[in-house]
Structure 1
Amino acid sequence: MDVKGLGAVVTGAGSGLGAETARHLAKSGAKVAVLDVNEEAAKAVAAEIGGIGLACDVASAAAGEEAVAKARDTHGPCRILVNCAGIAPAKRIVGRDGAMPLDAFEKVIAVNLIGSFNMLRLCAADMLGAEPLNDDGERGVIISTSSIAGVEGQLGQVAYAASKAGINGMMLPAAREFARSGVRVLTIAPGLIGTPLLLNMPQEVQDNLAGQVPFPSRFGHPSEFARLVLHICENAMLNADIIRLDGAMRMQ
């Protein structure tokens, strides 16, 4: 699928992986809707790349519907969805103050898992109602962001790990459902990527974490994630898979 001229929706695109993905898609000619809960950040990235910036709480049905409708009105039907919105607060199941508050778990599930499904369902409806793009009958591609923590969850990250495992789990049923309509569904599971979350840590912490990556022994670059997104878009034989982007890292 050639992304040039196609409508793309990227969530969590006000910063980090989402912002870099939006930049790469726009550079390749896609018409990008930059979605983020931080409207100011979304509009800043959109102004940089010539897209549209929209405030969107991905866990809200109404907010998601409004954002996808605005993107459609501006760029035509969504053909590319990249789910990057996510949060990762650390908390033990039972800590010094007792049991983890249930709403802390629910918040992570709402943003990471329900938010990804919310945008998947809305953008898939756009794709399924659109005309095929090529001789393969392809109508679109949906890419969600999981994590290697979805398989190798760490201490204090039960909610995050559960949310990412859920994203892994919904990929195959969605891919099977949409295959007959020419819509592909994949998941990228990054390891340690050099986003502000990691780069704001003390240098000794960064060095320790990077040293756990076998090769290359460093954090991944957001641009490497974005280039993988573009390759997935362009390679129609990639479908129904979870692609690790981790330098062979296995979390301890």
Structure 2
Amino acid sequence: MNMNELTRNKSLAGKTALITGAGGGIGRGIALELAAAGARIVIVARRGATGEETARLVRAEGAEALSVEGDVTRLEDMHNAVKATLERFGSLDILVHNATHGASGHPKQLQDFDDADWDAQVAVDLAGAHHCALAGYEALRTSGQGRVILLCSTFGLHGAALNPAYAAIKGGIRGLTKALAREWGPQGITVNAISPSALTAASAAFFELNPVLRDSYIANFPLGRMGDERQDIGQAVASLCVPGMGYVTGQVIQVDGGLYTAV
């Protein structure tokens, strides 16, 4: 089923999706595509203003939206977000953990990390996934068709020089995806991850200043371009959430235009 069909048929109508880190970027793209497919959207963002802006855009798609200010590093915040979701919409069917620490994209050698630097990234990306899972489990189980999507990265497969924390974290996300798929499958919950490559606002600004680097990097993509946050990454997430994908679990799917093709 392509996304035009998902949107036209409102294949996620009646479903409620909670997305962390949805105040912008890939998280916002995911929220908008789930909304276009008919889902009710809960945006969890550390900065309330960015979450409210995403909520406004979701409503412009004709979908219901709730913005909750919260920090994924705090388990209490995630419990509060799930509680607010259930109070407003009565169910939680889709949980997407997208929040990422801002330092994750900045090259840094291992010997330049101190414990605080390392722990800060782990707290958002990996412990945040743990908190989302803990807070969302019971509602997802009650749903009967719960869907969990975690954001991974090829860095967790091939490693990444100058980004050891991010590589280690995303390797952990890969393992968590597979472990939860085994644990939660009997409850009817599927757990998958995607490894996206998208032209974010930050990367676009960088490439604008460094066009030679842009051209050499994009030459690595068999499809000849970086992904769009909404049309490519958001659509991939939405497709994993429809009823017809209920037999897919424990998978880490590359959504990167063929950039990484090794097993």
TM-score (norm 1): 0.90
State the distance in 2 between where 1:17 and 1:243 align.
Answer: 16
Letter in 1 for 2:13: K
Equivalent residue number for residue 204 of structure 2: 199
- Is residue 14–residue 45 contact of structure 1 (8 Å, CA) maintained in 2? yes
Letter in 2 for 1:230: A
- Is residue 21–residue 44 contact of structure 2 (8 Å, CA) maintained in 1? yes
State the distance in 2 between where 1:54 and 1:162 align.
Answer: 29
Equivalent residue number for residue 122 of structure 1: 135
**1:124-153 CA deviation, whole Å, 9 max, x = no partner?**
22111x253xxxxxx210000001111122
For 1:78, what is the secondary structure of its paired residue? coil
Which stretches of structure 1, 4 residues or longer, exceed 6 Å deviation after superposition? Answer: none
Equivalent residue number for residue 27 of structure 2: 18
**1:85-114 CA deviation, whole Å, 9 max, x = no partner?**
1121431112xxxx4211101111110001
Q: How does 1:210-229 map to 2 (within 5 A)?
A: 210-213=218-221, 215-222=222-229, 223-229=231-237
Letter in 1 for 2:249: N
How far does residue 165 in structure 1 lie from its aligned partner after superposition? 0.6
Letter in 1 for 2:71: D
Q: If each structure's helix is expressed as a fraction of its own residues, which one has the higher value?
A: 2
How many residue pairs align between the two structures? 238
Equivalent residue number for residue 244 of structure 1: 254
How far does residue 2 in structure 1 lie from its aligned partner after superposition? 4.0
Equivalent residue number for residue 4 of structure 2: none
Equivalent residue number for residue 136 of structure 1: none
- Is residue 51–residue 69 contact of structure 2 (8 Å, CA) maintained in 1? yes
Q: How does 1:138-217 map to 2 (within 5 A)?
A: 139-190=145-196, 192-201=197-206, 202=209, 203-213=211-221, 215-217=222-224
Equivalent residue number for residue 95 of structure 2: 81
For 1:147, what is the secondary structure of its paired residue? coil
- Is residue 254–residue 260 contact of structure 2 (8 Å, CA) maintained in 1? no
For 2:250, what is the secondary structure of its paired residue? coil
Q: How does 1:58-97 map to 2 (within 5 A)?
A: 58-87=72-101, 88=104, 89-94=106-111
State the distance in 2 between where 1:206 and 1:36 align.
Answer: 30
Q: Where does structure 2 lack aligned partners over 5 or more consecutive residues?
A: 1-9, 60-64
- Is residue 190–residue 249 contact of structure 2 (8 Å, CA) maintained in 1? yes
For 1:9, what is the secondary structure of its paired residue? strand
Equivalent residue number for residue 7 of structure 1: 16
How far does residue 248 in structure 1 lie from its aligned partner after superposition? 2.4
State the distance in 2 between where 1:233 and 1:82 align.
Answer: 10
TM-score (norm 2): 0.86
